């Protein structure tokens, strides 16, 4: 089965109207038939993108659908605006905002109930890697979501493996290191449902750039990238998308 190739740009707390105009121009008519291109800008900018070649999502959602939760985004609001994708469980949300596996699982439940596709982010710290506990840690993150939505729910997600030690540091897991963890994720899902494992897209996130993209995307279990800093440069991001497109 041919899995969907995806390149997603996470702008985090960056971006402005001028940058959006540059992206609208750069992605007006590129030949990217074999890759889905997604941008996750700050929520204020979600309606400012014009290119039909870009899927625009949000960086986070609330586990609550409505209520007295100042500053939160509801899936009902996403439905109103036709927004189809959200990041859930990014390492910065886990670390800076104390989002536990349980909270992240609740957010996945809420997203799927509203027909919003989660990009579920998982990944280990440097200390976990050095302790030789990567697989156990990744499995525990997956299990919390599997317990909440089952394998049928996971099948509706995209998974993004992002080693925390390689995010915003300039370090990138080697293609072999990234492939090893992607293969473990796919094998673990296959132990539950082989068809889901064969069809689910698993992205690599962690300082992906124009120089590293092609070799990373050539790995058999890496289906694209969740791109941080390089997604703020339209020409570099387009190069990364083209690298994924060639593997589609």
Q: pLDDT digit string (tens) for 176-190?
A: 999 999 999 999 999
Share of the chain above pLDDT 90, in %: 88
Give the chain's mean pLDDT: 95
Task: State the pLDDT at residue 51.
Answer: 86
Span 97-109, average pLDDT: 97
Structure confidence by residue, pLDDT tens digits, 120-129? 999 999 889 9
Task: State the pLDDT at residue 1.
Answer: 59
Structure confidence by residue, pLDDT tens digits, 10-45? 999 999 999 999 999 999 887 899 999 999 999 999
pLDDT over threshold 70, residue 106 = yes
Beta-carbon contacts of 175 under 8 Å, excluding residues fewer than 6 positions away, are: 215, 216, 218, 219, 222
**What is residue 53's DSSP assignment?**
T
Task: State the pLDDT at residue 216.
Answer: 95
Task: State the pLDDT at residue 58.
Answer: 98
Chain mean position to CA 232: 16
Determine which one of 99, 162, 182, 234 is catalytic.
Answer: 162
pLDDT band at 166 (very low <50, low <70, confident <90, very high): confident
pLDDT over threshold 90, residue 222 = yes
Structure confidence by residue, pLDDT tens digits, 189-220? 999 999 999 999 999 998 899 999 999 999 99
CA distance linking residue 94 with residue 127, whole number of Å: 16
CA distance linking residue 27 with residue 202, whole number of Å: 24
Determine which one of 85, 90, 182, 234 is catalytic.
Answer: 90
- Residue 25 annotated as catalytic: no
pLDDT over threshold 80, residue 131 = yes
Task: State the pLDDT at residue 14.
Answer: 98
For the domain covering 5-245, report its CATH number. 3.20.20.70
Task: State the pLDDT at residue 142.
Answer: 98
H helical segments located in 41-167: 75-81, 91-96, 101-113, 126-130, 134-154
What are the extents of the domains in the chain?
Answer: 5-245
- Residue 162 annotated as catalytic: yes
Task: State the pLDDT at residue 247.
Answer: 80
């Amino acid at each position: 089965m041919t899995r969907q190739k995806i390149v997603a740009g996470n702008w985090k707390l960056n971006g402005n109207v001028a940058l959006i105009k540059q992206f609208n121009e750069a992605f007006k008519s590129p030949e990217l038939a074999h890759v889905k291109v997604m941008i996750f800008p700050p929520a204020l900018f979600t309606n400012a993108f014009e290119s039909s070649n870009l899927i625009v999502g949000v960086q986070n959602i609330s586990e609550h659908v409505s209520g007295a939760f100042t500053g939160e985004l509801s899936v009902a609001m996403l439905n109103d605006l036709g927004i189809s994708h959200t990041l859930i469980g990014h390492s910065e949300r886990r670390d800076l905002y104390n989002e536990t596996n349980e909270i992240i699982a609740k957010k996945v439940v809420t997203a799927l109930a509203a027909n919003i596709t989660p990009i579920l982010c998982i990944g280990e710290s440097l200390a976990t890697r050095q302790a030789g506990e990567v697989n156990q840690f990744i499995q525990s993150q997956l299990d919390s979501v599997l317990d909440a939505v089952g394998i049928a729910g996971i099948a509706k997600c995209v998974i993004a493996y992002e080693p925390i030690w390689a995010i915003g540091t300039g370090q990138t897991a080697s293609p072999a290191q990234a492939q090893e963890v992607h293969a473990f994720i796919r094998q673990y899902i296959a132990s539950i449902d082989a068809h889901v494992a064969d069809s689910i897209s698993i992205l690599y996130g962690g300082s992906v750039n124009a120089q590293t993209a092609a070799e990373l995307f050539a790995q058999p279990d890496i289906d694209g990238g969740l791109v941080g800093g390089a997604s703020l440069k339209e020409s570099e991001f387009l190069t990364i998308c083209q690298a994924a497109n060639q593997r589609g």
